[in-house]
């Protein structure tokens, strides 16, 4: 017990705290319960359907689950990109992100098999211009994973020069295709509202991650590893790249097809995008670590067999 108390005292002093006052305060602490720690009561009040269709609650909860899982991925990425760690732990955290992405893929059955087709296609009409495209966490993850130039479609990359500003690059990113008409130079409301709220934060994140994103960090780490460890690291990165940028989008696409293209009619997305083209990984060609894939693998990225 004395050793534990001394360790606590040393920690508090190191953090600039007064150990005696801190310990006196502990006398007033009460035991915490599960519902307080997880904030269950608050969590269960965060579902506010806009219609009376019962399955809209399922739709909301599903997307909230998705955002929580994305938060787990960001939590790991913050450590991978901004902290120094041993290769074994680095690889472990990559596989955590693989498992989180598996959860994102498997959870789509909640949507694909768990909602009424008729109800969904009624309550979704009240959601425009909201769209899953507007998930800011998804964009932060992209900026933490790879170089911003790799998020620009191949047909626009020849416009990028050493003088191209970060702001200009954001106007070229692949996800602009969901709401920006390059012929008329106009953006739809889904994209305009999204950028109004988040674009300054995205630019700030891209600046911060320029020299420490995951694509940069792993290349530095490779230099100090033997061949076996290099292979372990590359395999973990490849697993995450494929799970996140091919497997999950394909499950998403199949779910969208269930509700927007079955029963003989193709419907538009709530955000107004050409959803089937935009969601397809072969069109997006979002590849975080292109150096880890062969030319054949890159050519067939996301191609349905």
Residues 153 and 284: their CA atoms lie apart, in Å, by: 8
CB 129 within 8 A of CB 115: no
Contacts of 161 (CB under 8 A, 6+ apart): none
Residue whose entry in the numeric block shows the structure tokens 């305009």: 192
- Spatial contact of 67 and 210, defined as CB atoms under 8 Å apart: no
| Fold of the CATH domain 49-298 | Methane Monooxygenase Hydroxylase; Chain G, domain 1 (1.20.58)
- pLDDT tier at 265, thresholds 50, 70, 90: low
| 8 Å CB contact between 218 and 231 | no
Centre a 10 Å sphere on the Cβ of residue 180 and count the other Cβ atoms it contains.
18
Residue 159 pLDDT level (bands cut at 50, 70, 90): very high
pLDDT over threshold 90, residue 256: no
| 234 pLDDT more than 90 | yes
Higher pLDDT, 257 or 55: 55
Q: How many CB atoms lie within 10 A of CB 234?
A: 17
pLDDT band for position 30 (cuts 50, 70, 90): confident
**pLDDT tens digit string along 171-223?**
999 999 888 888 888 999 999 999 999 999 999 999 999 999 999 999 999 99
**Alpha-carbon gap, residue 143 to 170, rounded angstroms:** 11
| Residues 241/110, Cβ–Cβ less than 8 Å | no
- Rounded-to-integer distance, Cα 299 and Cα 149, Å: 18
Backbone angles phi, psi at 118, to 5 degrees: -65, -45
With CA atoms as reference, report the closest residue to 240 among 284, 289, 177: 289
Model-level pTM? 0.90
């Amino acid at each position: 017990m004395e050793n534990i108390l001394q360790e606590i005292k040393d920690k508090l002093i190191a953090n600039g705290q007064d150990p005696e006052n801190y310990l006196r305060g502990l006398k007033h602490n009460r035991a915490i319960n599960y519902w307080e720690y997880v904030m269950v009561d608050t969590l269960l009040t965060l579902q506010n359907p806009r219609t009376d269709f019962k399955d809209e609650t399922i739709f909301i909860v599903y997307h909230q689950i998705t955002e929580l899982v994305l938060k787990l991925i960001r939590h790991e990425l913050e450590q991978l990109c901004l902290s120094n760690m041993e290769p074994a732990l680095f690889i472990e955290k990559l596989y955590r992100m693989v498992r989180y992405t598996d959860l994102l893929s498997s959870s789509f059955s909640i949507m694909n098999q768990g909602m009424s087709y008729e109800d969904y296609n009624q309550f979704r009409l009240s959601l425009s211009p909201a769209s899953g495209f507007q998930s800011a966490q998804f964009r932060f993850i992209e900026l933490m994973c790879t170089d911003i130039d790799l998020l620009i479609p191949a047909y626009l990359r020849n416009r990028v020069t050493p003088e191209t500003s970060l702001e200009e690059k954001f106007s070229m990113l692949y996800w602009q295709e969901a709401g920006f008409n390059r012929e008329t130079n106009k953006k739809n409301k889904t994209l305009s509202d999204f950028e109004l709220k988040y674009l300054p934060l995205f630019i700030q994140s891209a600046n911060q991650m320029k020299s420490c994103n995951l694509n940069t960090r792993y290349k530095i780490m490779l230099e100090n590893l033997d061949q076996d460890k290099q292979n372990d690291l590359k395999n973990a990165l490849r697993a995450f790249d494929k799970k996140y940028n091919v497997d999950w989008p394909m499950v998403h696409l199949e779910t969208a097809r269930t509700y927007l293209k079955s029963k003989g009619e193709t419907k538009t997305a709530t955000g107004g995008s050409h959803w089937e083209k935009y969601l397809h990984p072969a069109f997006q060609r979002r590849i975080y670590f292109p150096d880890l894939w062969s030319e054949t693998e890159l050519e067939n990225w996301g191609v349905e067999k």
